[in-house]
Amino acid sequence: MSALHIKKGSTKHSAYNLRPTFSDVQETHTLAVLVDNEAGVLARVIGLFSGRGYNIDSLTVAEVDHEGHRSRITVVTTGTPQVIEQIKAQLGRIVPVHEVHDLTVEGRSVERELALIKIEGQGEKRVEALRLADIFRAHVVDSTLESFVFQITGTPDKVDAFADLMRPLGLVEVARTGVAALSRGI
Amino acid sequence: MTSQMTGAKMVVQALRDQGVDTVFGYPGGAVLPIYDEVFQQNEIRHILVRHEQGAVHAAEGYARSTGKPGVVLVTSGPGATNAVTGLTDALMDSIPIVVLTGQVPTFMIGSDAFQEADTVGITRPCTKHNWLVKDTNKLSGTIHEAFHVATSGRPGPVLVDIPKDVQFANGSYTPKAKAATTRYQPQVKGDPDTILELVEAIETAQRPVFYTGGGVINSGPAASQLLRELVDATGIPITSTLMGLGAYPASSDKWLGMLGMHGLYEANLAMHGCDLMINVGARFDDRITGRLDAFSPTSRKAHIDIDPSSINKVVRVDMPIIGDIGHVLEDVLRMWKARGRKVNREALHHWWSQIEDWRAVNCLAYKPSAGTIRPQHALARLEALTKDHDRYITTEVGQHQMWAAQYLGFEDPGRWMTSGGLGTMGYGVPASVGVQIAHPDALVINVAGEASWLMNMQEMSTAVQYRAPVKQFILNNERLGMVRQWQELLHGERYSHSWSEALPDFVKLAEAFGCKGILCKDPADLDDAIMEMLDYDGPVIFDCLVEKHENCFPMIPSGEPHNKMLLGEVSTKDAIGASGAVMV
């Protein structure tokens, strides 16, 4: 159609993201956001997601550089490729945000979550819970005659799987940290 | 080199260092120490508004017409919450505004103290950035950073919340040069490879069009100059958004007029039919694009914008260029000239003859009526009688705003102040006061509808106090005209609450405020009445009674593409489908 004989939507100068941006496919991305640890910074990030109707699947935040007062926010979010691009651009606009990394597209990364899971029960169920915990490399961090608290670390899927198995064995409470993630290699 | 002083003194010192000459504000308990310092100096002029919303809109008018940031000083609680509409307006239209709010003392924050509000919490989504300053030593540095953030990159409003004890306490002053501004440094130079791609596209395009926006004006006068040079040298037609009017002169033959929902026929059809769209500092707003899947289907699109989040937000573009308009246009021009100033002359000639056919439709034609004043006629006469003046126009929001954009011509940037993104009724009166304060000798006209005008009419009192001779040109149809128009088109002519009952007598109202009132209802008297308004040395409220049921055309119905424009009353029945009705 074009006089230039260039296919519409051509991205020949683009170094990455060669997929069509405007599709309906939902993708889950893990973003690492490095921010100044100042009052209100988390509210700015969360407010951006709620104000613009983006999803937060998981969010963790802690100061990672105590001298430079930098915090690292790890957000797992779901959206179309266009929405994911918007989220990154909008995060980049926030004044105390220094870096935004999309760990899902910037090469391989490692993602881990920690969960504390409380089981109540006696007898065979209690033994079975211990046996499964061993298989999942979960540790007992608290014990009474009627209960355990397991600590498990792993991908969100692994934590889900463990919690699902514990449910019929007397699971009463779960606390999860949300995902922390880093890129692999250097 | 730091010197010790109170926080309140620091505020005034920091404003002085920033070159601020005017502050719009309203005092209250939590800002009294700052007002005490304002009282004891003469360099910064304080304009006392009548409502904090008016302060922000006045500062917006000041900022848009001068290119400098507008400054607002208000108190805690209601002072801050009243400023919220203005802040949101400035955020949507990218206007640099610095709002200083008082706050209850730090040790009372969170106690539901008198006139306490979570100001930084409330204004977080409607500012570019905001700060609560809890330490006097950080106050001046924060104010300097606030000015930097407001004016750098895509401009916008910022807010600094200053508790009363921080104003009283002593601290060391940080001069402007030493303030921390390094963490916010938006990219201004565009990517040379993509700029080259754009230049190549300009050289070969058969049906190119410039689609420009408020970003050109925000970039500064140099950007408008470069745009003119580029358009005139290439001969490419140019259209603009509501926000961008004046960046390119309306008197030029390359000018197609405004585009969008109430844009000109030739502008919208050029957008629909082009093969190269060059978006310069506009953001593909929904009032511009209409139906997205049918928006300019045959074009390659370039988008120059300083804000990366504007790129690919709603429309996928082929040539994204992130950078300051001035810098990028300079590079485009330099590269285009160096490569031999080529354009596809023959194809451009065809393109222009096509555009001339569209122009010949004369979409803004109207029939003047002998009995009542048609609003289009009122604006056409206002244009004829004022275009040679040193003129600034503000507007309210609604039909009159669109007619003003259609029938008034703007030759220079910064001459047109209107609430585009947020569509704030009540913007125009305070904005006109702010413009007049900045340009005391210029002709400042607020083109208004009577309903919008009543929303912030208290600012006439400000105009009278400061002898700001603003002209309030009210197109009075005793209706919420645009609402009424949509109800006619979309809601079965059920005019739910869209008429103005119990309107004041505007002439008597003018006299009550201490200004001049003029009533005009006969087309035969219109010119004389406008001249009377222009000749009067002081604020005027001009009540122009116009045709009550006039609709604003041309119009792209919601949910339709650019080539489905409605031109007049004949074709409006059932024009908007059900899916369009939700997009209004």
Q: Which tens digits make up the pLDDT trace of B384-427?
A: 999 999 999 999 999 999 999 999 999 999 999 999 999 999 99
- Residue B388's CB is within 10 A of a number of other CB atoms, namely 8
Contacts of B93 (CB under 8 A, 6+ apart): B60, B214, B243, B419, B420, B421, B422
- Catalytic residue, candidates B114, B185, B206, B508: B114
- Residues of chain B with Cβ-Cβ distance to A13 below 8 Å are 193-194, 197
Judge whether A52 and A106 are in contact, CB under 8 Å.
no
pLDDT tier for residue B65 given thresholds of 50, 70 and 90 = very high
Cβ distance B128 to A86 less than 8 Å, yes or no, reads no
ipTM of the complex: 0.90
Specify the pairing of strand A147-154 against strand A97-102.
Answer: unpaired
Task: Name the more confident of A21 and B511.
Answer: B511
Instruction: Name the nearest CA neighbour of B326 among B310, B306, B343.
Output: B306
**What pLDDT, on a 0 to 100 scale, did the predictor assign at position B135?**
98
What's the CA gap between B300 and B279, in Å, rounded? 11
pLDDT value at residue B504: 97
A22 burial level (CB within 10 Å; 0-12, 13-18, 19+) = middle
pLDDT for B580? 56
Q: Which two tokens stand for residue B367?
A: 């029939």
Tell me the pLDDT tens digit for each residue of B345-378.
Answer: 999 999 999 999 999 999 999 988 889 999 999 9
Name the closest residue on chain A to residue B315, using Cα atoms.
Answer: A22
Is residue B244 within 8 Å of residue B421, measured between CB atoms?
no
CA-to-CA dists, residue B494 to A73, B398, B491, B556, angstroms: 51, 19, 6, 21
Q: Give the residue among B530, B512, B510, B508 at the shortest CA–CA distance from B520.
A: B530
d(CA A27, CA A104): 10
How far apart are the C-alpha atoms of B381 and B379, rounded to whole Å? 5
**pTM to 2 decimal places:** 0.93
Average the pLDDT over A65-80 and give the result.
Answer: 96
> Is B192 an 8 Å CB contact of chain A?
no
What are the tens digits of pLDDT across the range B167-181?
999 999 999 999 888
Judged by a CB distance cut-off of 8 A, whether residue B307 touches chain A is yes
pLDDT at B568: 77
Contacts of B513 (CB under 8 A, 6+ apart): B460, B461, B464, B539, B541
Contact (CB, 8 A) for B102 and B167: yes
CA B107 to chain centre: 39
Are B313 and A85 in contact by the 8 Å Cβ rule? The answer is no
Q: Are B155 and B90 in contact (CB under 8 A)?
A: no
The string of DSSP letters for A137-168 reads T-EEEEE-SSEEEEEEEE-HHHHHHHHHHHGG
Under 8 Å CB pairs connecting chains A and B tally to 67
**Cβ neighbours for B176, distance < 8 A, ≥ 6 positions apart:** B14, B17, B18, B144
For the stretch B310-346, pLDDT in tens is 999 999 999 999 999 999 999 999 999 999 999 999 9
Interface subset of A 41-70, CB within 8 angstroms of B: 43-44, 47, 51
Round to whole Å and give the CA distance between B131 and B86: 18
